[in-house]
Amino acid sequence: MRSLLIFGAIALAALCGPALGTEAPKVKLNTTADHSKFKELQAPFGNGPEVTKACLACHTEAAGQIHRTKHWTWEAVNAQTQQKLGKKTILNNYCISIASNQAACTTCHVGYGWKDNQFDFSKQENVDCLVCHDTTGIYKKAPGTGGQVFGKDTELPPGSGNIIKGLDLSKIAQKVGKTSRDTCGACHFFGGGGDGVKHGDLDSSMQAPDKALDVHMDASGLDFTCATCHQTSSHDVPGSRYAPTAKDAKGAFMRGRGEARNLATCVSCHGNDPHKQDARLNQHATKLACQTCHIPNFARGGVPTKMSWDWSTAGQRDAQGKHITRKDAKGHITYESRKGDFVLGEHVKPEYMWFNGTVKYTLLGDKIDKSKQPIQVNHMEGSPDDGKSMIWPMKVFRGKQPFDPVNQTLVTPHTAGNDDTGYWKNLVWDKAIEVGMKDSGAPFSGKVDFVSTEMAWPITHMVAPKEKALACDECHDRAGGRLAGIQGVYIPSRDANVWVDRIGWTMALLAALAMLGHGALRMAGRRKA
């Protein structure tokens, strides 16, 4: 029997980032003010901070609100583990770390000028208002500058011949509006170094998805934006990978009540009993995250996601000593001299694990035992017995990254930049790591080795229509199905228990005998009549 498991799911949307540099379709104005009528915005602007000063003349508290958010600080403290996290602190197995690479990485920061550790986080005009509120589609932050923008063509560095094209900042400022999939996605679709690289369920195909790709964000249907789910208050965006909600037992949430909870969960809209036609499915919802059934595969929009990244193979050159790039049949990069080998995937089946919302990270300075590879860069805590865990779909990203075999720690290499120590330019690991570790304030022995790592990412976007949810036999399968590796729960057809089987067959036999007996008695009664 093949039936559909229908769990109500809400698309967990991406947060805000810089808009794309191409002209976008006309956006419906959803604000109560026409900013083109404000004289403060009609003057020419030389740079981003000048625009922000004009914005703050009316939106007096906005910058202060931004300053208190993770989008600004890139810091977070996990309440369960007390680990200090955030992009400013953690390591990953993609581009590894922002340390010494701030000028490149902070192109996706909601501010201007974060090029090194001397950035002034208290300065209000350093906040970038346009990055989230642009509706023109022409706003683009200059790479390698700490996320700056300029009102006229500017040569940086001076004398380099590198011209950064100026933007009509006045025009952009006059057309600001609410956030959109484009503005949020310009960072969150391109995290990890390119389109779809990191998340697997967030890429450029989500700018205008159809119903088959995401039932909530369907551009011609419900047309949810990111903020529809990540409903923001005082610029604080709910939903965080540093403190995720694995199990929401609070039920549907009435917007406007001001409850202190994560609004970006499936349950917050659909409740804990979303299946009206088949209540049996609600029993599954006590153990399975909605996403487990309703996101059968990720990277479904035509954009491949990286599944592994091997830094140890980086550094190859051709016969002329130049960098090498290799591509697959579709034109996607599978090798770069500056980054190493990649494995890409489309329509990827998630991996599944128990998850209770607590994530423990391997941080800079934590001792690494190479004999215990793969090293979990982030460990998703969870158990079938803790009462807090659900079975979640995950993208598990596998990498091979540099570490210090003497100090036995992961390292923070200096990769980006045009100086002679940047790995992406010189392909020399010890120089790059020495600079990066100095920026991090951590010791480096001068020795370089590589270690296999894993990093898990909960899958929560690309929610399929209910007709495309997982069927029963995807999990209830003698060979194990999708949940073959999940322990601590009895799954009929997958699991065999002698006594359960005996009792079941006995009950079935008794039922059959009862039916036969009943039939025989009726036939005998008819003969007597």
**Tens digits of residue pLDDT in 145-164:** 999 999 999 998 888 888 99
Mean pLDDT over 45-68 rounds to: 97
pLDDT for res 13:
34
Task: Mark whether 309 and 414 lie in a shared domain.
Answer: yes
Reported as half-sphere exposure (CB side, CA atoms, 13 A), residue 485 has a value of 7
More confident residue, 19 or 420: 420
298 and 379: one domain? yes
Other CB atoms closer than 10 Å to residue 50's CB: what's the count?
16
Q: Is the peptide bond before 157 cis (omega within 30 degrees of 0)?
A: yes
- Dist CA 79 CA 504 (whole Å): 46
Q: Is residue 159 part of a domain?
A: no
Quickly list H helices, 441-497: none
In this prediction the pTM is 0.86
pLDDT reported for residue 139: 97
User: Is 213 within the bounds of a domain?
Assistant: no
pLDDT of residue 527: 67
| Distance from C-alpha of 365 to C-alpha of 386, rounded to nearest angstrom | 30
Q: 436 and 527 share a domain?
A: no
Structure tokens at 468: 């495309």
What mean pLDDT is predicted for residues 399-404? 98
**Are 309 and 454 members of one domain?**
yes
451 and 512 share one domain: no
Instruction: Assign 258 a pLDDT band (cuts: 50, 70, 90).
Output: low
> How far is residue 313's CA from residue 93's CA, in Å, rounded to a whole number?
14
Pick the range with the lowest mean pLDDT from 288-297, 328-337, 517-526: 517-526
- Residue 204 in domain: no
pLDDT of residue 528: 64
Percentage of the residues of the chain whose pLDDT score is greater than 90:
76
Q: What range defines the domain where residue 402 resides?
A: 1-8+76-99+244-495
Mean pLDDT of 289-312: 98
Q: At 497, is the pLDDT very low, low, confident or very high (cuts 50, 70, 90)?
A: low
pLDDT over threshold 90, residue 446: yes
Euclidean distance between CA atoms 476 and 524, whole angstroms: 42
298 and 350 in one domain?
Answer: yes
Same domain for 319 and 446, yes or no, is yes
User: Alpha helix locations (H) across 74-141?
Assistant: 102-105, 130-133
Read off the DSSP letter of residue 106: G
Which of 52-56, 270-274, 432-436 shows the lowest mean pLDDT across its residues?
270-274
| Residue 50 placed within a domain | no
Please say if the pLDDT value at position 411 is more than 80.
yes
Task: For residue 127, tell me if it sits in a domain.
Answer: no
CB count within 10 Å of CB 467 equals 9
Q: How confident is the model at residue 254 (pLDDT cuts 50, 70, 90)?
A: confident
Domain match, 462 and 503 both = no
Does one domain contain both 403 and 516? no
Mean of the pLDDT values across residues 67-74?
Answer: 97
Check whether 6 has a pLDDT greater than 50: no
pLDDT at 417 over 90: no
103, 152, 107: which is closest to 128 by C-alpha? 107
Q: CA separation (Å) from 72 to 99, 111, 112, 278? A: 16, 7, 11, 45
Q: What is the pLDDT of residue 524?
A: 73
Range 155-176 average pLDDT: 93
Q: What is the pLDDT of residue 20?
A: 42
* Pair (356, 467) in one structural domain: yes
Residue 127 token pair: 């906040």
In the chain, the number of structural domains is: 2
Do 510 and 484 share a structural domain?
Answer: no
Residue 66 lies in a domain: no
Task: Give domain status of residue 454, yes or no.
Answer: yes
Average pLDDT, the chain: 90
Can you tell me the mean pLDDT for 82-92?
Answer: 95
Residue 440 inside a domain? The answer is yes
Residue 95 has pLDDT above 80, yes or no: yes
Instruction: Assess whether pLDDT exceeds 60 at residue 185.
Output: yes
Is it the case that residue 11 has pLDDT exceeding 60?
Answer: no
Q: Which of 21-25, 279-283, 415-419, 480-484 has the lowest mean pLDDT?
A: 21-25
Q: Which of 94-108, 260-274, 504-518 shows the lowest mean pLDDT across its residues?
A: 504-518
Position 463 confidence tier, pLDDT thresholds 50, 70, 90: very high
Same domain, 413 and 515: no
pLDDT, greater one: 328 or 524: 328
pLDDT reported for residue 30? 65
